[in-house]
Structure 1
Amino acid sequence: MDLGAATNLLGLLGDPTRVRLVSILAHLTDGDAATGAAQELSVAELVEITGVTQSRVSTHLGRLREAGVVRDRREGSSAFYSLNDAGMSEPTRKVLSLVRGELKDATLEADARRADSVVKRRKSGVTWLESVAGHMERHYSPGRTWESMAHGVLTMLQAGDVLDAGCGDGTVASLVAPRAASVTCLDRSPRMIEAASSRLASLANVRTVLGDVHTMPFDDASFDAVLFFHVLTCAEDPKRALAEAARVLRPCGTLSVLVLDAHDHAELTASYGHVHAGFRPRRLESMIAAAGLEVDACDVTSRERREPFFQVVTASARKPAPATSSPVSRPSRAARRSPR
């Protein structure tokens, strides 16, 4: 092996993902040595095992195939990969053997266990969908992203004039706009407004406004819905911000809030611009009610799967309709339950 070949080989193995892919396929080859058959894995299975995106896995496999380290077998539109044990050069085999012999790593050990589970599942005839039943949201599936599902759910929405308060770069507004009469994006950061304007430039029913949630530059009763998505933890005065949301809502309009549940990691969230360490549901409900809104729901709705396991509170509220001069008398709950 000359210097150029040695440099290329060492460069090939200088990427952690390529080392993981080679180690997984080599592990399966070792485990199947008794039968003499090369164990194969599809790109989807390698994505499941490593947690690396499909595009990156495919790119790295291409590099390894070009170098003769792995080989592929086509079956229709699918490709199955295995270690090219018989076809790789002797110097390459020796280097791989040396690397594998010296590596003792928890990530590689976990990869090997997951690879064994994938092969076992395949041999048992259990489908991928059946294997992830009960925890499907933790696994990648082509096209099944939270963004795609949000687009699907939003087809049921028929919104009027929406205010996305603290809009950031306009990600939420881009989802809502196709189902709304209009969307107004408000943020106090000029850079965020610039980014939102660029993202939303093709949407004729969207406008961006530089302003603060504490003193919104809008008339009373301007919107049918106000979104406060992860805004209150960054607001110096959350109560004032909620009062502003109530002011700009039309009667019977809705307020939607997402916010972190109270936590003990203020030093961590401070680096993200948070000035409050979240809000307990009961406190948030009280703050919304104090702004003059009727709370429909307020509870913890999700928990992150990595430390420190932040929880998110979701709240929805309505602005009461104006009182009529002759209100209709309604029986109390007790009266409605009483037998005749």
Structure 2
Amino acid sequence: MEISFPWILVVTVVMAMPLSFRIKANQLSYDYYKFSCPNLESVIKSELLGIFLTDATAPAAFLRLMFHDCQVQGCDASILLDSNYLAHSHSSEMKSSRNFGIRKRETISYIKSILEEECPGQVSCADIIVLAAKESVSFSGGPHIEIPLGRKDSRTCSFHEADAKLPSPTITVDEFISIFMSKGMNIEESVSILGAHTLGIGHCFNIVGRLYDPQLGDKMDFGFEASLRLACPTEIPLTNFTFVPNDMTPVIFDNQYYRDIMMGRGLFGIDSSISRDPRTAPFVMRFAMDQNYFFKAFSSAFLKLSSTNVLTDVQGDVRRQCNQVN
């Protein structure tokens, strides 16, 4: 089956930011690699293009990789560190069950090796992760987001922190709002960042609670619930690799996610909850009706998520290899 990707031109978003966020973002720079690695973004685009054209699921994987990296210690490539190269062999964030299904870590390492030939010792793995995510959004039909660069790589990681910081499938609206407000987002931006669910799939073991635990029961479209029960027929999935699409257009970055959850077709509990909570429902409706408005809000949220609590200057390193400390 051939899959075509729409190429949508949208206006780059520059939003008014809270003072605390602007101070942090100012430690990064839009021309950080102007002299040290001027071809950085063109190299990354070139390498990703071949991957995108042969793997329709890759954009979702790169976007999820960035979210899971940034959510734990900030965007510092800590998620790429392997146990084999750490003093405490069980500290890798990949030991956390919340990181089940994370992919494309090895691709970031491959791109890093290409950049080491182009401009040795200059480009952090953390910046590569964020650039790969923003290219994934754009390639899939979403907004083109300009982001400042200059993140450094962490020297540490912790699967305990990953367990604590990565949201669970049963997260509540209160918890969801608290998490993203800590990244400097308002409620509108917090709802928009969940729009990343427009790409990719969800694994059955993350949704069976909604289907088979009456205590967690919430309102779903009858036909949609029936289709989920067919895809995930047992309370304990027969395999961890059974999955269903996040929305009706899982390889296109659009506003279908919001249209779906307004019709009771939200895959995860939080998807259903934000369509009903009075604090978040108006934004769900606005994004469902106006895709460009969603793109604008998502761009602002993406910028905040990728620029908050980052390491700069001597706070971190530029790793020679992404999966191990220098």
Give TM-score scaled by structure 1 length.
Answer: 0.23
Structure with a larger share of its residues in helix: 2
Structure with a larger share of its residues in strand: 1
